[in-house]
Amino acid sequence: MLPFARLTIIGTGLIGSSLARAVRAKMPGVTLTGHDLDPDVRARAQALQLFDDIADSAGAAVTDADLVILAVPPLAMSAVADSLAGDLPPDAVISDVGSVKTSVRDALMAALPGPQRIVPAHPVAGTENSGPEAGFAELFDGRWCILTPPDVADPVNVERLAEFWRRLGSEIEIMTAEHHDMVLAVTSHLPHLIAYTIVGTASDVEDVTRSEVIKYSAGGFRDFTRIAASDPTMWRDVFLANKDAVLAMLQRFTEDLTALQRAIRWDDGDTLHRHFSATRDTRRRVIDAGQDTAAPDFGRGPRSA
C-alpha cells in the first residue's frame, strides 16, 4: 500500500530529480509528473526520462496529484504556490524540500487553500552539484528528513508524508519550523556562509596568486571550496529567508573567532590547545552517528583511487 499514488514534483534540479529517481527505484507504482519553470531544465529532465510526464505549467502538473512536492529555492516558493493554487485537487497534500521552513510555511499557508494539507519537509541531504543530471536515487538513504507540520496540519497527512520519506530510506524527525531554522542555521547555513566567505578572501590576497591558492589547496582550503560550489540562487534565498537565525549564529561565531584571534595575538597556547582538543571529540561523534565516513581525508587521493 503506497502512501501516495500520484506524485508531482515542481523543480527538477539536484533534489527534485533525485526524488524522482528515488521514487522510481523504491516505489515503482507511483505515477510521476514533473515541471520546471526553466524550459531548458524541463527539456533536460525530459531527456533523462525521469518522469512519466513533464507538464508545461505548474498548474497543469498538479491537476491529478495526491502529493505535490515543491523543490524550488526558498524565495521562489510563494510564486510557485500562487501559480498552481487554482489547479490543486482538494485533497492533495502539499510539501516541499526547502532548507528554510518558517518562511516556506508562511508562503504556502498564504497562497494555498486547505491549511490542513500543508506539511513542509526538509531532507537534510545534498551535494555541491546542481541540475537534473546531478541527481541520484540514493541521495536520501540513511539521511534525516525533518517534517515541520503547522499546528493545523492533519496528522494523517503528516504520517503519510513520513511514510513516503521512510520508503526512500530516510529517517524522520518532527519539530517546529522555528526550531528547524535555528538547528539548520548552526549545522548548515553558517558553515556555508563561512565557506563562501573564505573562498572569496583567499582569491583576493594580492601577495598570493590565485594559482598558488589552487595548487596548495590540499592543506585545508579545498574542503571549503566544495561547499562554496553550491547553487548560488538557492543559498542567496536561504540566507535571506532565514536571516534572523543566521545573523544570530554569525554573531556567536564572530565572538568565538575573536577570542581565538586574541589568544593567537597574546601567545596564549593553552587556550588554543584546549579549544582544539574539544573539537576533536565532535568529529568522533559525527562519525559514530553515521553522518560521515571515518576514512582519512574523506578517502580522497591515490589511496582510494
Footprint on residues 116-175 left by a copy of itself (CB under 8 A): 124-129, 134, 136, 138-139, 141-144, 146, 169, 173
Under the criterion CB under 8 A, does residue 194 sit at the interface with a copy of itself?
A: yes
Under the criterion CB under 8 A, does residue 4 sit at the interface with a copy of itself?
A: no
Q: Smallest distance, Å, CB 169 to a copy of itself?
A: 8
Residue 19: closest CA among 133, 119, 136: 136
Judged by CB under 8 A, which stretch of 52-60, 83-91, 108-116, 250-258 contacts a copy of itself?
Answer: 250-258
Under the criterion CB under 8 A, does residue 77 sit at the interface with a copy of itself?
A: no
Alpha-carbon 59 to chain mean position: 25
Is there a contact between 68 and 62 (Cβ–Cβ < 8 Å)?
yes
Q: How many other C-beta atoms are found inside a 10 Å radius of the C-beta of residue 234?
A: 21
Q: Smallest distance, Å, CB 235 to a copy of itself?
A: 5
Choice between 5 and 248, CB closer to a copy of itself: 248
Q: Applying CB under 8 A, which of residues 40, 90, 151, 282 lies at the interface with a copy of itself? A: 282
**Cα distance between residue 260 and residue 23, in whole Å:** 47
Judged by CB under 8 A, which stretch of 1-9, 38-46, 84-92, 216-224 contacts a copy of itself?
Answer: 216-224
Choice between 58 and 190, CB closer to a copy of itself: 190
Which amino acid is present at 38?
A: D
Going by C-beta distance under 8 Å and a sequence separation of 6 or more, which residues neighbour residue 37? 11, 58, 72, 76, 80
Q: Smallest distance, Å, CB 149 to a copy of itself?
A: 18
- Give the long-range contacts of residues 246-250, CB within 8 A, separation 24 or more: 246/185, 246/189, 246/190, 246/193, 248/185, 249/185, 249/186, 249/189, 249/190, 250/190, 250/193
**Cα distance between residue 80 and residue 249, in whole Å:** 30
Q: Smallest distance, Å, CB 57 to a copy of itself?
A: 26
Under the criterion CB under 8 A, does residue 76 sit at the interface with a copy of itself?
A: no
**Cα distance between residue 37 and residue 59, in whole Å:** 11
Under the criterion CB under 8 A, does residue 78 sit at the interface with a copy of itself?
A: no
Longest dimension (CA), the chain: 67
Under the criterion CB under 8 A, does residue 201 sit at the interface with a copy of itself?
A: yes
| Beta bridge partner(s), residue 96 | 70
Using DSSP, how many helices (H) and how many strands (E) does the chain show?
13, 8
Choice between 102 and 157, CB closer to a copy of itself: 102
**Cα distance between residue 160 and residue 67, in whole Å:** 10
Under the criterion CB under 8 A, does residue 252 sit at the interface with a copy of itself?
A: yes
Choice between 70 and 227, CB closer to a copy of itself: 227
Q: Applying CB under 8 A, which of residues 71, 92, 162, 193 lies at the interface with a copy of itself? A: 193
Under the criterion CB under 8 A, does residue 104 sit at the interface with a copy of itself?
A: no
Residues 24-53 that bind a copy of itself (CB under 8 A): none
Choice between 84 and 195, CB closer to a copy of itself: 195
